[in-house]
Structure 1
Amino acid sequence: MSVHAATGRRLTLGDLAAKKAAGEKLVMVTAYDHPGAQIAEAAGVDIVLVGDSAAMTVLGYDSTVPVTVDEMIMLTAAVRRGLRTPLLVADLPFGSYEASDEQAIATAQRFVKETGCDLVKIERGGTSIDRARALVAAGIPVVGHVGLTPQTATSLGGYRAQGRTAAAARQLIEDAVALQDAGCSMLVVEAVPSDVTAALMPHLAIPVIGIGAGPDADGQVLVFHDLLGLYDGPAAKFVKRYADLRTAAIAGIAAYADEVRSGAYPAPEHGYGMPEAEAARLRTATAG
């Protein structure tokens, strides 16, 4: 557990910069609700991301695209209530920031005011670089995201690794540097060859969080439901499962169902009593 978790002080961007300078790896995990936030807090992570991956892991959509601003705000606010120490990052969902700087600022302001998040995250380079610059100018800290960007995965050929040619890798690095120059405080790099991340790192002074991007990034992020084995869906190559909570949860609920059906639950110790004199009065009062 980090020293900040022990003291209860919320981490700052300055703390992350100091960790990067000291060569300390940063730990980010997603969370989507109050219990998940409390678990992440207790585990001592540095950063919690309320990712639009909630669309699939929590809300049952087929992709990240359908999730709405209102849904993401509800989830992010719930996570905020469960956190004391980690920085909180909120994904701006697809369609909520791309159209204009004004749209991006209005959406991000809602997230900051209604959820208390510390930073917002947007995907891609291109016009998103302009959006990032506008958000920073409006006083809103931003996390950029390059490589595989799930909101536009269809245009990238699906959920597959990016930057696998020298030309594509150079473009990715240019986008990453442009996002830094636009004022981004942090960068997520997803599903790119390790060689690309190694080539990228010397160009960036801001913390870089990898997911399927090799060991050279300043830190790593995984989806809560993936690393704990809760999500019953295909896992990406980069996912490592550290627990199998889905199997344990199914076994626990099945055991509960068996005891309810057999009458073993609830047992006397699971009920409430009343003084015998009051019970006697009740029996007398309700006797036929």
Structure 2
Amino acid sequence: MTVAGLRALKGRRQMTMLYVETLDEARAAAAAGIDILSIIDPLWTPAMREAAGDCFVQVGLLYGELVTTEDYLRAAHRAMRIGGDCVYCAAGLGTIRALAEEGIPVISHVGLIPSKATWTGGFKAVGKTADSALAVWRHVQALEEAGALGAELEVVPERVATEISRRTSLLLFSMGAGAGADAQYLFAEDVLGCTRGHRPRHAKTYRNFAAEYERLQQERIAAFREFAGEVRSGAYPAPQHLVPIEPEEFDAFLSALGAG
């Protein structure tokens, strides 16, 4: 998938997007035909690029750890050299413009922006009043003017998201903003039922990995307990676990020890 390919899909079909953290998650997403992966910069390696297969990968540049425009430019170029397809940047419009001017595809964030949630009243929906919805629209327009490729659209009423998506060339990745956006974005840990901490309203669990991990942990404890018990009883190590030596060689060894 390329930037041109993503843009060609806007308005034609819903795309799928997952935030993944491990090589196994990336491989599974690629095998499942997920369109887009989001992977934060510290986890972005050549091995992760290989695991992601044909998925379009957004590399998340961490707001707060990067500060200046030059910080973002260096990190973005490094991410692209590894094989990233675009970068996520929650910094200001000047930084987004600078990245876009370098030809780096940039995804930003509108609606509920976790790193800036204090400006919109905390971790709650944005765009539920006409003024708030217009503020989201103006933010989208500003990102479009700055040259962004798209934006994560988080916790905005579906009807608002649909109207904004119809009126912008940006690709909008919905996190709790409904099917009127261009892609549906979930975290792998929510999909797999192993969420740590708060689980957002829009999250949906498709498998219970938490129960499977707990089962495996109990099996791990049982295996370790059996190992310890066999060591204490003398059942381990057994003959098949040991290296043999021919009797004549051992006798020669003992003779040498005695001579020494």
Calculate the TM-score normalised by the size of structure 1: 0.76
Residue by residue, what CA displacement relative to the aligned partner does 1:242-281 show, whole Å, maximum 9, x if unpaired? 1110111111120231233135999x9xx9958x9x7363
What is the root-mean-square deviation in Å for CA atoms of aligned residues?
Answer: 3.0
State how far apart, in whole Å, the 2-side matches of 1:251 and 1:180 are. Answer: 48
1:79 aligns with 2:69: no
Match of 1:241 in 2: 205
Percent identity for Structure 1 against Structure 2: 27
User: Could you list the per-position Cα deviations for residues 47-75 of structure 1 after superposition, in whole angstroms to 9, with x for gaps in the alignment?
Assistant: 10014xxxxxxxxxxxxxxxxxxxx33x0
Aligned letter for 2:83?
A: G
Moved more, 163-172 or 30-39: 30-39
Q: Distance in 2 between matches of 1:18 and 1:272?
A: 66
Q: Distance in 2 between matches of 1:257 and 1:37?
A: 28
CA distance in 2, matches of 1:82, 1:110: 18
Quote the Cα distance in structure 2 between the aligned partners of 1:155 and 1:205. Answer: 26
Q: Tell me, what secondary structure is at the counterpart of 1:222?
A: strand
The C-alpha deviation readout for 1:65-113, integer Å capped at 9, x for no partner, is xxxxxxx33x0115223122011111111125554x4343233223323
SS in 2 for 1:90: strand
Please point out which of 209, 234, 242 is paired with 2:173.
Answer: 209
Q: Secondary structure at the match of 1:49?
A: strand
Match of 2:246 among 274, 281, 286: 281
> How far apart are 1:157 and its partner, in Å?
2.7
| Partners of 1:97 and 1:131 within 8 A in 2 | no
Alpha-carbon distance in structure 2 between the residues aligned to 1:188 and 1:168? 17
The 3 A distance-change label for structure 1 pair 201 and 263 is: same
Consecutive unaligned residues in structure 2, runs of 5 or more: 255-260
Deviates more, 1:41-50 or 1:225-234: 225-234
Cross-structure match for 2:80: 112
- The answer to whether the Cα contact below 8 Å between 1:136 and 1:184 also exists between their aligned partners in 2 is yes
SS in 2 for 1:240: coil
Shift of 1:165: 1.4
Return the offset for 1:191.
0.9
Corresponding position: 1:262 with 2:226:
yes
The amino acid across from 1:164 in the alignment is K
1:6 is aligned to none
Q: Distance between the aligned counterparts of 2:38 and 2:25, measured in 1?
A: 11
CA contact (8 A) 1:163 1:172 kept: yes
What's 1:68 paired with?
none
1:1-288 correspondence to structure 2 within 5 Å: 11-21=1-11, 23-51=12-40, 72-73=41-42, 75-77=43-45, 78-96=47-65, 99=68, 101-113=69-81, 115-123=82-90, 128-263=92-227, 279=244, 281=246, 285=250
Shift of 1:231: 2.1
SS of the aligned residue for 1:279 comes to coil
Cα deviation, residue 40, structure 1? 1.2
Distance change (3 Å), C-alpha of 1:283 and 1:116: farther
Query: Any stretches of 5+ residues in structure 1 without a counterpart?
Result: 1-10, 52-71
Do 2:14 and 2:179's aligned partners in 1 also have CA atoms closer than 8 Å?
no
TM-score (norm 2): 0.83
Query: Are the structure 2 counterparts of residues 282 and 131 from structure 1 closer, same or farther at C-alpha, using a change threshold of 3 Å?
Result: farther
Q: 1:249 to 1:137 in 2, by over 3 A?
A: same
Which structure is larger by alpha-carbon Rg, 1 or 2?
2
8 Å contact from structure 1 (residues 31, 37) kept in 2: yes
- Closer, same or farther in 2 for the Cα pair 1:283/1:150, shift >3 Å? farther
| Amino acid in the other structure paired with 1:42 | A
1:257 is paired with a residue whose SS is helix
Q: Distance in 2 between matches of 1:187 and 1:136?
A: 14
Give the count of matched residue pairs. 246
Contact 2:125 2:155 in 1 (8 A): yes
